[in-house]
Amino acid sequence: MELSDLLMDAAERADQDPYTLPLEKINIANPFLFARDIHGSWFKRLRDEAPVHLCPESFFGPYWSVTRYEDIIKVDTSHEIFSSEPAITIGDTQDTFPLPMFIAMDRPKHDEQRRVVSPVTGAENLRNFEPIIRERTIDVLENLPVGETFDWVERVSIELTTRMLATLFDFPFEERSKLTRWSDVATAIPGIGIIDSDEQRYEELMGCLAYFTELWNERVKLPVKSDLVSMLAHGEATRNMPPMEYLGNLVLLIVGGNDTTRSTMTASTLALHQHPEQFAKLVANPGLIDSMVAETIRWQTPLAHMRRLAKVDTELGGQQIKAGDKVIMWYVSGNRDERFFDNPDDFIIDRADVRKHLSFGFGIHRCMGNRLAELQLRVLWEEILKRYERIEVVGEPERTVSSFVHGFTAMPVRLHPLAQQQK
């Protein structure tokens, strides 16, 4: 079946009522479930009836879905049973376009490579980043149009995250849009508008490699600095990486620093529009910003899943998983698990234990940029509350067609400034 036919078939299947299907016919990885924001009922059925669920046939081959909170943590922390190699997404691209990256490696190589770049989001760097983030946030907000509709994703979410990425890589600022493009290309499904084919993806990402190879060659001749390229070029565990491993780690760091934060920036705006009582609570008590940010990260879950591969035969949730089986941890489902969270579908900014969401993962692969993402969101909302009475979402947001990146491609908004800002 051609890719266009597969996409058309997936789009049609997304319209089905999940409760009318036999369990074995449920393919929760259908990207159109997420693009249409209708995946919730599908996951609820699995959590209730088949929390460890085998999909025997799909475009991605057979795979197990793990949908409850506690089971996900078990998989995510059982490194002796479940491997991160060779990939973290449900799809298999390693045969046609292998991109090794440390998040898709096991110990010890994972730990060695991660240790090289983790200082970029250390406490000292975060303190240094905050005034830069605030200055740029103010610049972006002060240049937004008032009284007219514009795209929040393009003007705010993408702009702020791309500026931060450029800083992390010490990337030429005037060319920072390349980073956004490479991030989108790396995760896109061919045929839905971003790229037409895997061949195009390969060509564009090889352009990314060529560009970053020039930066590597410049920085390897200089003393090590605090940017990611310099760290990789000088790191004992990374300085002799093959080119495709360098590209794989670049893609990891670009996507990790872009898609997740930009999705959450948009989701926070949408959530507070949809829940005006929560926005009123935030206005009355700005001290709740940190809690609101964490709740947004749970409520949105910017990366829907992570994949593992069973190393040995094992039992999970009463199911027998064989060595070599593909196991998908659906963070987007675990964050809505009624067995762990009270009223999980509600957006509650002062929720108890708000930081116990799954979005950053657990164990050795826990997101190393989580504090930086939270910092960017905190600063954004501190500055928003100084300027706007509310941000009105004036149309349906457009969502990413993906079962991995759970995000937005556009969202029309209109700003309502505070009275003192109108003078």
Ranges of each domain in the chain: 3-422
| Per-residue pLDDT at 151 | 98
| Per-residue pLDDT at 377 | 97
Handedness of CA 272, 275, 280, 281 (dihedral sign): negative
Distance CA 152, CA 337 (A): 30
| Per-residue pLDDT at 399 | 96
pLDDT by residue for the chain (423 residues), tens only, comes to 455 566 678 888 888 999 999 999 999 999 999 999 999 999 999 999 999 999 999 888 999 999 999 999 999 999 999 999 988 899 876 556 778 887 877 888 888 998 998 988 888 888 999 999 999 999 999 999 998 999 999 999 999 999 999 999 999 999 999 999 999 999 888 888 789 988 999 999 999 999 999 999 999 999 999 899 999 999 999 999 999 999 999 998 998 888 779 999 999 999 999 999 999 999 999 999 999 999 999 999 999 999 999 999 999 999 999 999 999 999 999 999 999 999 999 999 999 989 999 999 988 888 888 999 999 999 999 999 999 999 999 999 999 999 999 999 999 999 999 987 654
What mean pLDDT value characterizes the chain? 92
Q: pTM value?
A: 0.94
Handedness of CA 128, 358, 95, 323 (dihedral sign): positive
| Per-residue pLDDT at 272 | 98
Question: Where in 367-407 does DSSP place strands (E)?
Answer: 388-393, 398-399
- CATH code of the region 3-422: 1.10.630.10
| Per-residue pLDDT at 109 | 87
| Per-residue pLDDT at 200 | 94
| Per-residue pLDDT at 299 | 98
Sheet hosting strand 305-310, strand order edge to edge? 52-55, 63-66, 326-330, 305-310, 82-83
Sheet hosting strand 150-151, strand order edge to edge? 150-151, 412-417, 388-393
- State the burial class of residue 417 (Cβ atoms within 10 Å of its Cβ: 0-12, 13-18, 19+): middle
The residue written with tokens 């740029």 in the block is 136
| Per-residue pLDDT at 423 | 46
- State the DSSP string of 218-249: HHTTS---SSHHHHHHH-TTTTT--HHHHHHH
Cα 262–chain centre separation = 8
- State yes or no: cis peptide before 86, omega within 30 of 0: yes
